Structure 1
Amino acid sequence: MPPIDDLKPRAWTVSALCRAVADSLDAQFNPVTVRGEISGFSRAASGHCYFSIKDDTGQIRCAMFRRAASLVDFVPRDGELVEVRGRLGVYEARGDLQLIVESMERAGQGALFEQFLRLKAKLEAEGLFDPAHKRALPAQPRAIGVVTSLGAAAWHDVVTALQRRVPHIPVLMAPALVQGTGAAATLAQALQSLYAFTAEDNPLSPPVDVILLVRGGGSMEDLWSFNDENLARVIAQSPVPLICGVGHETDFTIADFVADVRAPTPTAAAEMAATDRGAGLEALSVLEHRLTRGLLRQQDRQAQGLDSVAARLGVGLARQQDRQAQRLATIAARLSRPQALVGQHSQWLDRLAHRLQAGVQSELTDSGHRLERLNDRLGFNQGQQVQQRAQRLERAALRLSSVDPHQVLERGYAWLSDERGQALTHAAQFEPGQSVRATLSDGEVALKVLV
């Protein structure tokens, strides 16, 4: 009878068992070709690709290293039906069944992907994706609505981004399931509940001006609730602009096409929802600077205008003062130079004497003629007529003596003349050191100009 210890089952180490299973799989199945839909496809920075191949009831994890991935002539996407050839084994670090893919070929679109394309074509034909229906996002919404799961990382990302960028804008959250059975219905219900708060007279204030529909990344199956037809139509009915930020940058859902704006991630959706407060404050600072400069320029122009008016007034007053000063100087000059006045009066007296002499001569000539005619005609009373004429001559002599220039000199005036006997009637005719002769009533006086 064998020892009891020989009847005990063999105790394997974990790594030894994994290697044994891998050897069995390799011997029985490899190389193997598998047909299924791609799910959860990702490409690492190293170039290696990781995904799953699945059908209705099962899935296998796959890894395709960079060399094999570089030979694939298309871009693998979730939902695509493919045939992969490789070697089945065990990933010892986790003990998972794993298929190392050496080649990949398209085998069709895949059931989910075909369903996605059919719905997309239907809604596009109805105009739900028409760019003309897309609305611009408000720069500063009064309130922001968010539809996602309370426990999702997307909610945390959105709240963090909004708190950093626009902490002054209130956020209204409508929770919903974002994955699994019934998720599409809860998403549509949450959106409709937010629509009630977009009206100006809503129970809460202020009204919601933009809505975010968000969730994190995942496989095509994880995001499938966002490919629901009813949800797409509810999104199209949104009374305010709606941003869809579902999955990663490479993920596309029907909700992305219907929304006004598609964001690559939930965080990006939050950043699109409102202009950063810092940017707004910076813009206000720029406007304040421009306004200040404009006011300063306006003040400068007004000051220049006042300076110009003051200068014109000063020039006018100066000119007025100059004119007054000139007038006073002229008067003072006239008053300080009586010789000029005397010269002017002497010249006037000369002209008057000349006219009087001419008049007297003419009168004498006429009188002589008349006397001769009277003598011829009235010889018989010659003596009487001579006496009358003599009287008239005496009266004329008296008149002449009354206007004689020498009589004017008797009244205190003088007649000034230069060495040549020319009358000096203007101040401009006098020069310092000049010899002048003054004719008075009783004789002449020699004078010399000092200044």
Structure 2
Amino acid sequence: MNNSDTAVASGPRVWDVGALCHAVADALDARFNPVAVRGEISGFSRAASGHCYFSLKDSSGQLRCAMFRRAAGLIDFSPREGDQVEVRGRLAVYEPRGDLQLIVESLVRAGQGALFEQFLQRKAMLEAEGLFDMARKRPLPTLPRAIGLVTSLGAAALHDVVTALRRRVPHIPVVLAPAAVQGAGAPAELTRALRSLYTLDVPIDVVLLVRGGGSIEDLWAFNDEGLARTIVQSPVPVISGIGHETDFTIADFCADLRAPTPTAAAELVSAPRDVWLGALDVIAQKLSDGLGERLDALGQRLDLASGRLGRPSTAVLRQRLRLSHEAQRLRYAVTSQRERSAQRLQRLEQTLPSAWQSPFKRQGEALDRLAARLRLVDPALVLQRGYAWLTDANGQAITRTAQAKPGDTVRARLVDGSVELKVERNATRRKPTQGH
């Protein structure tokens, strides 16, 4: 080995540029990552791809930052120039330019870092206790009899939820339990509101716990441990609709179902009328198809039975011939009976005169004899012989002299009429004495 070779061997290692950048990146990753940095935003921009680029600076330094679209979509506020923020990520070297940069994975306003650490600790504790287990999650009711709603009276979420429910299921009653959704007293109010719904006599089948979006401080009430346990104790399914799709709270993990927004929470329990009508149409069609298939099967059975019985026309013809024969016999019997009756009536007509004339003749002769006897005792015959029939003024017959006193007027009936007579005297005929 010559001197020049020795000098080269004892000097610094010669790196390719790309290899050195890569080695520096590995060293940074091993030494610092993951890293959390606090600073002021400068030059924030959002590219068409959704990636964000900015610098993070303080009074003594500045660091280039890149935040890719996935992580940028989780930001719950709009970063602006001069905002004090805390970021988490990893240091890297942008090898095409050899620039040091921070790949940001989360970005919050300054002061939220401690809250986020507390959130993670509480989440881990409650998850270990089983409050987030999927096995205890309950299915949502298909047709709730009533819907419970917990939110603030002044929240925009209240208007969004009520509007959605009125549009989709105006017939389902909504029971509102108002509570503050932000501030120091909000966790206690939310807990009381939920418990009030649990004890109502109204048959509530599902509860909506909702509020609009905000920062981690705005949503902190929904990370309360007591509220989490109250949600788990609900006798009916609870749907959380807190913040925006990128917001997560402890209440979301405890709820039976998390909705990305308050409006989405309302829509999950309010299938519109057209959906149910469509379902009924499908059921009706299935019933119609099933009935048609049943009728077809029964028709085939009927055809088979008809084939086994043979053609019914032969049996019908035999019955018709039998009925015709019986009708002919009946007509003959009626005609014969009619002829016999006519003959009997004719005989009766021939024998009836002699039958009734004989007794009448005998009775007539007897009547004639009686009439002759009556004529013999007819008073008129007596009167024709010169006798008279005397009656007093009252029409009573006078048969004795004692009935007519001198001065009385009597009537004498003769053959051709009557005359009135006045009694001057009466003489009683003496009875003859015996022996004279």
Question: TM-score with structure 2 length normalisation?
Answer: 0.50
Largest Rg, 1 or 2: 2
